[in-house]
Amino acid sequence: MNKLASLTSHDNYFEDFEVGQTIRHARGKTVTELENVNITNMVMNTAQGHFNLDLMQKGALGKILSYGGVNFSLVLGLASQDTVENALAEIGLDNIRLRTMVFHGDTLYAYSRVLEKRESDREDAGIVVFKHWGVNQNRELVAELERTALIKKRSHWLKEA
């Protein structure tokens, strides 16, 4: 009854990742007007396609576009529990590509592949490079990017607990 629950999963430490391993992440996330418009305004993006419904309804697209920064951030978030839950640091985001439009009401899903795994200068952690993909409800590729993270080693952290 007094046992402290684990804060992170048991299978996403540095030792658990293998180059070539592919992960289909369990959750999806529907893009809502609230998050898209709020973030678009917070970063001062003035492209009206992200917040002017009247203009978009009169044009060829007919609906509001989701801001690309929201799209790849959602993909990162969907992938985080399985990939960087035991990260000590995010080292880099590279090769960000937005592949197709995302609209309010679209649902995004994420996949990841381990591209590289190497030792770091720390004995308690190693470096893992992931490629993340985001697809919409129609399985169309909407975003892809690479993430480099410093991940805890189980062999060090669990013996300290």
pLDDT digits (tens, 9 = 90+) for 115-138: 999 999 999 999 999 999 999 999
Rounded to an integer, what distance in angstroms lies between the CA atom of residue 97 and that of residue 99? 6
pTM over 0.85: yes
Nearest C-alpha neighbor of 87 from the set 130, 150, 147: 150
pLDDT digits (tens, 9 = 90+) for 95-109: 999 999 999 999 999
Cα maximum dimension of the chain: 62
**Which segments within the chain are labelled E, that is strand?**
22-30, 87-98, 107-119, 125-135, 141-152
Domains of the chain: 18-160 (3.10.129.10)
pLDDT digits (tens, 9 = 90+) for 31-80: 998 888 888 889 999 999 998 999 999 998 999 999 999 999 999 999 99
Q: Are 78 and 109 in contact (CB under 8 A)?
A: yes
Q: 29-54 burial string, b = 16+ CB within 10 Å, else e?
A: bebeeebbbebbeeeebeeebbbeee
pLDDT digits (tens, 9 = 90+) for 66-93: 999 999 999 999 999 999 999 999 999 9
| DSSP letter for each residue of 32-65 | -HHHHHHHHHHTT---GGGT-HHHHHHSSS-SPB
| Average pLDDT of the segment spanning 139-156 | 95
CA–chain centroid gap for 30, Å, is 14
Rounded to an integer, what distance in angstroms lies between the CA atom of residue 129 and that of residue 117? 6
Q: Are 14 and 152 in contact (CB under 8 A)?
A: yes
Which single residue is written with the structure tokens 């197709």? 100
Q: Can you read off the two tokens belonging to residue 14?
A: 């540095």
> What are residue 38's phi and psi, to 5 degrees?
-60, -45
Residue 118: strand pairing partners: 127
